[in-house]
Structure 1
Amino acid sequence: MTALSIVLGIGCRRGVSVEEIEAAVQTALNALDAPGARSLASVRAVASIEGKSDEAALLAFCERHRLTLQLFTAQQIEGVDTRASASAQVRKHLGVGGVCEPCALLASHEGRIVVPKTIVDDVSVAIAADHSSHHSKSHA
């Protein structure tokens, strides 16, 4: 069995604390079906919109856990269909319908959402599993 490899998509309001990001990430990790994957050790990368490239708490979270931060443009994000979780508020501020789910999908290796948008205070987190992590081989 392949170890679960996941990507965190994170969206947040400007000025959140690293503790707020930690709490939201832990809440999302706790929602995973695979108990062994509920730690940051399973996380391969963090993804967000390029407008968050200077968000201190997001950068500190990635540095604290030695995670790569992948940033995506609004145009890249708009190319991902996540209408079901779109937010008018996010569209108003960032020009896209959502951040955490499309960014998690974009950063994953042909993955799928395994934990949909989870909101804790001013932070939203979604988790995508890489394709190889959830692909079951039916032929031996």
Structure 2
Amino acid sequence: MTSGSIVIGIGCRRGVSVEEIEAAVRAALGKFGKRSLAEVRVIASIEGKSDEAALLAFCERHKLPLRFYTAAQIADVETGASPYVQKHLGVGGVCEPCALLASHEGRIVVPKTAVDDVTVAIAADRHPLPSSSKGHA
């Protein structure tokens, strides 16, 4: 994997701590061959979490961009469904569909990993972003 070639989708309950998010992300990265945060291109979540302090603080701490998706966008992505998430957010899941939406035609490489009140999934880009220099096609 090259730098910036994986995407992390995060779902969480309201009021989680930045330490809980950190622990969940590190647990998921550990399942993917001990990857590091340096390989993460973007963090993704549902727009209802756009004011979640711990999520914002985690991304700020690690200088990672954060992208949000609407429930309608997430509903169009087929992944496993959680009755709890469906009841509270109106979608079947958050971390897996958000990771897929933020990836470049990617695939899930670490499925939903739950640590306390945080869920994390990792998608790997199928096609890396073009580099600034021209190379082979």
Counterpart check, 1:58 vs 2:55: yes
Helix, strand or coil at the partner of 1:132 = coil
Q: Tell me which amino acid in the other structure corresponds to 1:93.
A: H
- C-alpha distance in structure 1 between counterparts of 2:123 and 2:81, whole Å: 17
More helix by share: 1
Once superposed, which parts of structure 1, at least 4 consecutive aligned residues long, lie more than 4 Å away? none
The one-letter code sitting in structure 1 at the alignment partner of 2:91 is V
Measure how far apart 1:132 and its partner are.
Answer: 2.4
Of 45, 49, 60, 1:48 maps to 45
- Read off the aligned partner of 2:31 and give its amino acid letter: A
Root-mean-square deviation (CA), in Å? 1.4
Q: Which amino acid aligns with 1:10?
A: I
Indicate the SS of the match to 2:127.
Answer: helix
Give the counterpart letter for 2:22 in structure 1.
E
In structure 2, the gaps of 5 or more residues are 129-137
Give percent identity, aligned residues only.
Answer: 75
Say how many residue pairs are matched.
128
1:93 aligns with 2:88: yes
Structure-2 separation of matches of 1:43 and 1:121: 22
2:107 aligns with: 112
Q: Residues of 1 paired with 2:23 and 2:2: CA distance? A: 24
> So what's the TM-score if we normalise by structure 1?
0.88
Q: 1:54-110: per-residue Cα shift (whole Å, max 9, x none)?
A: 00000000000011100000000000011xx21000000000000000000000011
Instruction: Measure the CA separation in 1 of the matches of 2:22 and 2:111.
Output: 17
Indicate which of 78, 82, 90 corresponds to 1:81: 78
Output the CA distance in 2 between the equivalents of 1:19 and 1:125.
14
Alpha-carbon distance in 1 for matches of 2:75, 2:94: 10
